[in-house]
Amino acid sequence: MSWQFDPGHTYIGFTGRHLMVATVRGEFEKFEGTVEFDEHDLTRSKAEIRIEAASVTTRNAQRDEHFRSADFFDVEHYPFITFQSKRVTMRDAHHGQLIGDLTIRDITKEVVLDGEYGGVNQTPWNTSSAGFHLQAKVNRKDWGLNWNAVLAGGGLVASDEITLLIDLELTRQAEAVASPQAEEASA
């Protein structure tokens, strides 16, 4: 069954080390996608996500512009980052992996996102919601994100290892339950 992203409750972001001493957090504010989520057999679920690379924000305008430049995402030539799932494996009822192809700057590499499934609940607004937390560690250089600078005391400005983080909430309309009167009227 097709579910929709709940953009107000979904986060797609990353962390990396800055100057080898601190963590920088970033996120993408604009994304869309489709999810075929099978709550009875998660291994049959599929996801496609398309992220607007220019929507990156780290709460620092100068750094955000640098990330949009040819040194990193090169949003002028590569406006989208995409993820296409290939398979889901489950370790137990709430933990597994989402394996798929991540494309950045027209370079596609398989990534394995470790996942935690939060379950499904009915909402007071006649919808159902499902929640997931996904994360993976990747090397940014695998996608041509090579810029760096050497520090005077040794080390680098930016770490090669990046942690990808996705907190995903999906929604769908509750299935209508036919009343006995509606069934009689249609007969």
Three-class SS of residue 185? helix
Q: What is the mean pLDDT of the chain?
A: 88
Question: What is the pLDDT at residue 85?
Answer: 96
Q: For residue 63, what is the enclosing H or E element?
A: helix 61-68
Tens of pLDDT, residues 59-77 = 999 999 999 999 999 999 9
Say whether pLDDT at 52 is over 70.
yes
Tens of pLDDT, residues 143-165 = 988 887 776 777 766 778 899 99
Question: How many domains does the chain contain in total?
Answer: 1
* Ramachandran class of 144: left when φ > 0, alpha when ψ lies in -120 to 50, beta otherwise: left
Question: What is the pLDDT at residue 175?
Answer: 63
CB 82 within 8 A of CB 48: yes
Question: What is the pLDDT at residue 154?
Answer: 76
Q: What does pTM read for this prediction?
A: 0.86
The CATH code of the domain that includes 10 is: 2.40.128.110
**Least trusted range by pLDDT, from 17-26, 89-98, 161-170:** 17-26
Of 17 and 54, the structure prediction assigns the larger pLDDT to 54
Could you tell me how far CA 107 lies from the centroid of its own chain?
17
Tens of pLDDT, residues 73-132 = 999 999 999 999 999 999 999 999 999 999 999 999 999 999 999 999 988 888 889 999
Say whether pLDDT at 6 is over 70.
yes
Residue 9 CA: distances (Å) to CA of 52, 72, 88, 133, 169: 18, 27, 22, 12, 6
Q: For residue 181, what is the enclosing H or E element?
A: helix 180-186
Say whether pLDDT at 167 is over 90.
yes
Question: What is the pLDDT at residue 9?
Answer: 92
Question: What percent of the chain has pLDDT above 90?
Answer: 63
Output DSSP code: residue 68: H
Structural domain span for residue 9 = 2-186
